[in-house]
């Protein structure tokens, strides 16, 4: 990156490449932590004989949204297929939550 670009970004308050990378990685790590917590809550509820559809729905809607965003940016059909499948599974889990939960 050129000195002028760095100075302009600093002046305008924009993120440099390193900060932008860290910013994006933080969302990935946050998503992983949420998924782990949802699995822990689901296992706990399953052990106690309770329904746990809502936690699974959180995980799958996260996966669906991230894959759909990847598809919109990269235009790779496998991300579209994955987002549709996980989206359908999310809808099934939400319906099961309201019907059985």
Q: Render pLDDT for 26-36 as a digit per residue (tens, 0 to 9).
A: 999 999 999 99
pTM flag (> 0.85): no
Q: Cα angle vertex 28, ends 81, 42, to 5°?
A: 80
Average pLDDT over residues 55-61: 94
Cβ 80 vs Cβ 73: under 8 Å: no
Q: Report the C-alpha gap between 98 and 101 in whole angstroms.
A: 5
Q: Report the C-alpha gap between 8 and 2 in whole angstroms.
A: 10
């Amino acid at each position: 990156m050129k000195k002028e670009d760095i100075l302009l970004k600093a002046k305008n308050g924009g993120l440099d490449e390193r900060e932008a990378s860290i910013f994006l990685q933080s969302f990935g790590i946050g998503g992983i932590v949420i998924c782990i917590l949802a699995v822990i809550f689901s296992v706990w509820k399953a052990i106690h004989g309770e329904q746990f559809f809502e936690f699974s729905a959180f995980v799958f809607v996260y996966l669906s949204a991230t894959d759909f965003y990847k598809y919109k940016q990269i235009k790779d059909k496998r991300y579209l297929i994955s987002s549709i499948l996980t989206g359908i599974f999310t809808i099934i889990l939400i319906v099961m939550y309201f019907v059985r939960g």
